[in-house]
A and B are shown apart, each in its own frame.
Chain A
C-alpha cells in the first residue's frame, strides 16, 4: 500500500478573472519512506499539491488517500517545513521545537528529551536557550526542521525549505537532511525550483509544468546512497537533469541548455 495515493486530483481557485486551474488531473503514488521531490517553475502547482497532502486545502475533485484513507482533515502524522522558518520570536530554540508537542498535548518530559536529541542531531547543541533573532537563517531553518520532526510524524512536507538560504548553506542543509532521513526514515515530499537539488535529494523527481499545473514527467533517480556532491558531475546526473529540463521548458518558449 502506498503512503500517499493521489488520483485524478483537480484543484481550481476562483479569482477576479474567473476560475483558475492550479492543478489538473494529477495522479501520483508515494511509497512509505520514499524521498520525492516536486520540481517546476512558479505557478506549476507544486506548493498547492504539497498543501493538499497536508490537508491544508481541499481538492476540487479527485482522490487523495493517506495510509489508504481519504484525507479530510490535517493529520498529526505530518510535519511541515516552509521556506521561511517562521519561528516564534518570543520562544527559545528549545521552546520553539516543543510547540507542536504542547498543541498535541504530548508528554512533557519525553518531548523535552526528544527535542534535545533533535537539536543535537542538526548541530545546534548549546543553542537551546538562544532566541531566533540570535540565529542565522540556516540555523533558524534547522530549528524549524526539528519542530517538524518533534512529534515523530511519518511524513515530512517541505515547501522550498532552503530556497531563502545562500547556496553553500543550502547544500549543507540538503546533505544534513539526507543524513537525518537515513537515520530516521520518513516519507519526504520536498518542493523546490532547483533541479540540481531535486535530483541530489530524491528517490524520484516529479517534474511539473504550469498553466494548468500538472505532472509532466516522473524520473526515478538511481544514484547510490549516501549521495555525494561529486555525483552532480556524473553523466547519469546530467542525463536526469536533461530529462527534467526538457519537460519543464518544453512548450513554454524558454530554452536553456
Chain B
C-alpha cells in the first residue's frame, strides 16, 4: 500500500464521516459510529501489516477475527461458564438482595445509620482480596465467582435504592397519608415507582461491575473453562489473538447488556423527565 492510497482512504473516510454526522435521523445516528469504528479497524489493520507489529504485542483485526471463528466452541463454553452462570446469577442475586435490604432498612433509621457506612467499607475491599476467600468458601466452580459478584453489586444497589426510597416528595407522602394509606400501599403505589430510576442506575452500574468481577475472579482458581481462565492461560501461551477474541466477546456482552437494560429502563420509567417525549 502506498502513501497516496493511505491518504486517499483517510480523506474519503473523513469526508464520509462529516457527511453522515450532519445527517438527521437514523442513518446519521447509527451510521456515524459504524463508519468511525470501521475506519479505526482499518487503521489498526493497516498499521499492523505495514509496520509489521509482532502478533504478541498487537494482533491485526483480521487475526482476531480468525481466532474468533476458529475458537467459537471454546468461546461458547467460556460464555456459558462466566456470563450465563457466574455473572448473570451473581448480578441478579446481588442486585435483588440489595433492593430487598434497602426496603428492609427503610423502616429503621437506626439500622440505616449502622449498615450504610459498613457498605462503603465493603465496597472499598479489593476484588483480588475477596476472590480467593470466596474460592475457599464456595469452591472452584462458578458459585465462588457469583459470590464475588454478589459482594460487589449488593452495596451499589443498596445505596441507590435507599436514596430512591427517600426521594419521594412530602406532598406526595401527605397525599397518601390523607387517603389513610398504610405503609405497604405507600411503598408499592408511590415510593417504589419513584425509586425506579435510581434502581435502574444501580442495575446498569452493576452489570459492568459484574462482568469485570466475573472475569477477574477467575484468575484466582477456576475449573479449566471461563473467560478469565482463558485470558490468563492464553496470555501465558502467547496466543494473544485468542485473548483479544475473549476481550472482544466481553466488550460485546457488556455493551449488549447495558443497551438491553437501557431499553427496559426507557420502557419502565418513560415518565421520568429524562425520557419524556
Chains A and B are bound partners: no
Q: Which residues of A contact B (CB under 8 A)?
A: none
Q: Which residues of B contact A (CB under 8 A)?
A: none
